[in-house]
Amino acid sequence: MRAQVTVFIIIGILVIIAFGITVYVGSAVRENIESKPTQQRLEQAGVQPIVDYVSTCLSLASQDALSLAARQGGLIYELQGGVAKDFTEGEGVIFTKYSDDVFGVIDVPFLIRPPSGNVGQLFFAQPPRYPFDSFPYTGDGLLFTGYYGVSDLPSLYKTTPDGVPVAGSMQESVEKYVQKKVVECADFKSFLDKDYRVTQGSPVASLLFASKQEQFAGEQFVTMELKWPLEVRTPGGDSSIVEEFAVRIPVRLAAMYYMVKKIVDTDVTDISYVPDSEGQFVVTKLPFGSDSFISVSDQQSIVGGKPFEFRVLRKNRIPALWRIDTAPLEQVEFHVTPEGRGAVVRAQGDTLHINDPCQEAGVQNPFLLELNASDADEDAVVFDVHVPGGSDGQIPRDAVGIDFSVTVLVKDAANLSRESFDSQEIPLRVALCEVR
């Protein structure tokens, strides 16, 4: 009896499985059948070649738009078909000319610029108080976060979550560019010889992609929809209207943008930050004169057969000199001989050297002070010393008996005046001596 029950249970399970398979197959077949009517109708109407032609142009224009915007810091200019205002002045300050391997000479904006103006009495944009007087020392230790630049990264979305329009967004620029380029691409001249006649309406492109943070992790592509009314008269004399086109591009646009935003926001607020690769995003620093690009490429996003790349152009920012502790100098005298040979003050590597011609007992010679600095652009830095009235770093004869200071400054590769770099005055007590 128990064996019979077991057999009936097994048979019942098999029946349920068979029913499930039948339902699934029927559903799959129905979905497959339902996905074909539109294409079949287009083929029957003889307009499928036109649809394929426009779709190809839409795909090419969409890929160009995404790539161009990403290489221009999220912008496409009005003259190019986008919405960003064209630059008429400010080259080298707010933008630069760049020879791109795909698009030729383009205008690339500085998405990261040096700080401008002060933040109350907390942070200062100009030396010698840049970034703050005791940098990086505070009563609680070391502080590297603060005001180290201005972000000009444009908005990604053309509206806020509340539906308020946002001017100059990357989304709107891409859409406008696609509208323009699709019309230029699809001129339909090649169809005239085949007896097709196409009457065009006005195209409207819509870029669809992840809009909520919880969608970013699963993002795989963007969709470019184009509503472009086309009245098509076929060689057979029939007329049809087609107007809806769409393509998918394998680009994680929102994920890329917010990776870039994270880099930019951190870079302008933390002088110790070094941009680095993360997950599938490969981050590389590319020198550009004294300025630099941060290249962010996504190995999961492909445009034109290559990983999708977003470039952030940074205007060079001066390095910040760490506050030098001058307390050890308060009880030390340096000297000038009667012949005028003064102590020599030089920066050697990351140390300030003061070589005195008249060494005092118990005082190290050369006298050494440690030097340090931070650079927001990760540039190599060098230290220098300016000795007023002296040559070759020698303290001059007229420094004896007066309030005398040398200036220690930190430089990067930028071709700037001495006054443009961060510095600190180092007071020295200077006396006359005789060589024994």
Instruction: Specify whether the CB–CB gap between 394 and 419 falls below 8 A.
Output: no
> On the CB side of 292, how many CA atoms lie within 13 Å of its CA?
22
| Confidence band of 39 (pLDDT split at 50, 70, 90) | low
- Rounded average pLDDT over 244-251: 98
pLDDT over threshold 70, residue 24:
no
| Confidence band of 5 (pLDDT split at 50, 70, 90) | very low
Q: 314 phi and psi, to 5 degrees?
A: -110, 130
| Confidence band of 214 (pLDDT split at 50, 70, 90) | confident
- Tell me the two tokens of residue 49: 């070649």
| Coil, helix or strand at residue 291 | strand
Residues 6 or more apart in contact with residue 354 via CB below 8 angstroms: 334, 343, 344, 345, 366, 367, 368, 369, 428
Residues 6 or more apart in contact with residue 200 via CB below 8 angstroms: 183, 228, 229, 230
Which one, of 210, 319, 287, lies nearest residue 256 by Cα? 210
DSSP H/E element including 65: helix 48-71
Query: In angstroms, what CA-CA distances link 261 with 154, 229, 319, 321?
Result: 10, 37, 23, 27
| Coil, helix or strand at residue 378 | coil
**HEC per residue, 129-148:** CCCCCCCCEECCEECCECCC
- Rounded average pLDDT over 337-362: 93
Q: What is the pLDDT of residue 97?
A: 98
DSSP 327-341: GGGTT-EEEE-TTS-
- Other CB atoms within 10 Å distance of the CB of residue 67: 21
Q: What is the pLDDT of residue 139?
A: 87
Burial of 30 (0-12, 13-18, 19+ CB in 10 A): exposed
Single pTM value for the model: 0.86
> CA-to-CA distance for 70 and 107, rounded, in angstroms?
12
DSSP 75-106: --BGGGTSSBPPP-S-BTTTEEEEEETTTEEE
Tens digits of residue pLDDT in 336-348: 999 999 999 999 9
Instruction: Specify whether the CB–CB gap between 107 and 87 falls below 8 A.
Output: yes
Tens digits of residue pLDDT in 123-142: 999 999 999 999 999 988 99
| Confidence band of 6 (pLDDT split at 50, 70, 90) | very low
Measured in whole angstroms, how far is the alpha carbon of residue 10 from the centre of its chain? 62
Strand partners, 428: 404
Mean pLDDT score across all residues of the chain? 90
Q: What is the pLDDT of residue 111?
A: 98
Tens digits of residue pLDDT in 362-417: 889 999 999 999 999 999 999 999 999 999 999 999 999 899 999 999 999 999 99
pLDDT over threshold 60, residue 1:
no
| Confidence band of 41 (pLDDT split at 50, 70, 90) | low
> CA-to-CA distance for 432 and 182, rounded, in angstroms?
82
Percent of the residues in the chain that have a pLDDT greater than 90, as a whole number:
80
